[in-house]
Structure formats: C-alpha cells, structure tokens
Amino acid sequence: MLKSIAVITSGGDSPGMNAAARAVVRTALYEGVKVWGINDGYKGLLEENMFEMKSQSVSDIIQRGGTFLGTARCPEFETPEGRKKAYDILVKKGIQGLLIIGGDGSLRGAQKLSAEQGIPIVGLPGTIDNDVWGTDYTIGSDTAANTIVEAINKLRDTASAHSRIIVIEVMGRKSGWLAMVAGISGGAEYILVPEETYDLDAICDNLRTRYARGKRSSIIVVAEGVGSGTAIGKIIGDKTGIDTRISVLGHIQRGGSPSVEDRLKASRLGEKAALALISGLSNIVFGFQKGKIVSIDLHDAVTNIKSLDPDYLRLAKILS
C-alpha cells in the first residue's frame, strides 16, 4: 500500500482532465492516502511546484475545461538528467507513486521515468487527439469532437447561403481521429486524414460536377496531420473555380465545459487509476476498449502507433 501519491496533468490540456484529477484526489483521500497536486506538468515538478490536496481542492472543477493543476510542455524532462532531478524531488517530498494524466508524449516521459528510476507510475490518457495506443478513448476527445461538429454546423449555414466550399482545418497532430469522427458527424463532403492518401484533382473534378448540378455547400475537413488547410483550400478554390473559404479552428477545440461522456469516463478512470497506484501496481495506463475499462501496459501504449478504424474510412466515403 502506498501512503503518498501525486497527480499531474501534462501536455495539451483537455476537457475532462479536471474530472479525472478530482476522482483521483477523492479516491485517494477516501482510502486514507495523502495526495499531492503538481502544478504545470513536468515543468512544475522540476520547480517543486506542488501542494497537498484536500477534498475541497477539487471542488467546483468538474464542469470546467482546461486543467486546474495547469500544464506545460517541458523539454528538460526529455533528458535523463531532467528525469533524475524529477525523481529526486518526488523522493524528497515523500511521494511514492505518480499518477499522470496526459497524452502520448507525457506517457512516454512517464514510462522513461519509471524505467530509469523505478518509481511506480499509473497513467490516464488525456488528450483531445485520441492518439494513445490500446484505448478507444482519451479524456477530452468527445468534447473536442462535439466542438468541431458545432463549428461545422455553423460553417455549413454560411457555405450554403453563399454557395461556397468551406475547408476547415482541425487538430489531432499525426492522428486523423478528430477530423474523421467530427467530419462524419457533421456530414462533411470530404475528410482528409494522414492515415489515407487522397487525390485532390479527383476531389476538385467531383466538386465541380456537383456544383454544376446545383449543389450549394461543401465542407471539407482537413486534419492538421495532412498539412495546411489554408494551402489545400487555396488549391481547391483555384482548381474548381468555386468560391472557397478557409477556417482554421485552432485552440477553440481544446477548451470548453466537458461533455457528460468526458466527465463520466474521466471520473471512472480516475478512480481505477488511483486504486491501482495505491495498491502498488505500476507501469499501466487505464483506458476503454469496447466500452469497458481496461489496463494497458505502459510500454506497449507508448511504443505502438494507434491506427484509424478502417470502418470510419469506409463510412466517410459512402456518406460523402
């Protein structure tokens, strides 16, 4: 049984991180375990920026986007020296295990910390990108997908009014999951993702034919991993001769009050992860497979690349 643990959020914030951290804190306190909150990700850890949490420390946060702990990207933690320093600080504070809520990069860093220093680590996948191997779901991905769909609905209204094409660039790093899921749900005509090649000439020919027949709007979702939506939109406008506008959605996708799905799944994952860490388990990530909570080997989670479900690729083609 561990007696003192710490929770940290790292990498890009995502809606639901607060719900996860809240569940971790309240589960630990329920079990009589001391729990620290580390501010500003690995950067804050290296600065000893942490505080002991009470139940009230996590009041009034489940409904908020972002992360009340703060987050950061931290190049120093990518070095063995940086990770050794982090370990020494944890030991100094009497922290026996670390619960990390973050994306693929943060989990990769945590895996190295554990391999090099032997400190128990349990991870939760927290990123809007849904790009962590071994889990169908990452905390925040549902809210972000819903935000994108709302944007598509609005863009559709104006595209249709003006008989235009609108190209929307969405986040996701190297993953096309966000673009694909939001694109299908928003009724996009084309969804360009890094997992699949595309033929811009064929797309433009098709758009021209359809507009000649009276089509009044098209939404083309471009995952950032494919390249610049602005550049692709410019080519589409030039090749088709159809009035085209470009919208780069940006960081609006990361914020906002988390959806019920994100709050609930994050809370459930938070409880499981805290109990596992307290009981002495290590080197695992909790996630969801086929609707059920599963534990994934941390090393597997950070060394494998998650692929995009081919069902989505097929469906997007059929429905476009």
Ligand X SMILES: Nc1ncnc2c1ncn2[C@@H]1O[C@H](COP(=O)(O)OP(=O)(O)O)[C@@H](O)[C@H]1O
Ligand Y SMILES: O=P(O)(O)OC[C@H]1O[C@](O)(COP(=O)(O)O)[C@@H](O)[C@@H]1O
* Binding-site entries for ATP: 12, 73-74, 103-106
- Annotation marks residue 199 as catalytic: no
Could you tell me if 33 and 124 are in contact, meaning their C-beta atoms sit under 8 angstroms apart?
no
Which of 40, 129, 142, 262 is catalytic? The answer is 129
Annotated binding site: 12, 22-26, 73-74, 103-106, 127-129, 156, 164, 171-173, 187-189, 213, 215-217, 224, 245, 251-254
Closest approach of Cβ 224 to ligand Y, in Å?
6
| Residue 108 binding result from ligand Y, Mg ion, ligand X, none, given CB thresholds of 5 to 8 Å by partner type | ligand X
Annotated binding site for Mg(2+): 104
- Provide the binding-site residues for ligand Y, judged by CB under 6 A: 11-12, 103, 105, 127-129, 171-173, 224, 254
Q: Which window, 95-103, 215-223, 224-232, 233-241, contacts Mg ion (CB under 5 A)?
A: 95-103
Rounded Cα distance between 188 and 135, Å, is 26
- Provide the binding-site residues for ligand X, judged by CB under 6 A: 10-12, 42, 73-74, 77-78, 102-106, 108-109, 112, 127
Judged by beta carbon, residue 224 or residue 271, the one nearer ligand Y is 224
Beta strand extents in the chain (DSSP E only): 4-10, 34-38, 50-52, 97-102, 121-125, 164-170, 190-192, 217-223, 244-248, 284-289, 292-297
Is the dihedral angle over the CA atoms 32, 24, 303, 300 positive or is it negative? Answer: positive
Judged by beta carbon, residue 137 or residue 211, the one nearer ligand X is 137
Closest approach of Cβ 65 to Mg ion, in Å?
17
**Does residue 13 belong to the site contacting Mg ion (CB under 5 A)?**
no
Q: Residues of 218-249 as b/e, b for ≥16 C-beta within 10 angstroms?
A: bbbbbbbbbeebeebbeebbebbebebebbeb
List the alpha helices (DSSP H) in 93-212. 104-117, 141-162, 177-185, 200-212
Characterize the bridge pairing of strands 50-52 and 164-170: unpaired
Active site members: 129
Interface residue list for Mg ion (CB under 5 A): 103-105
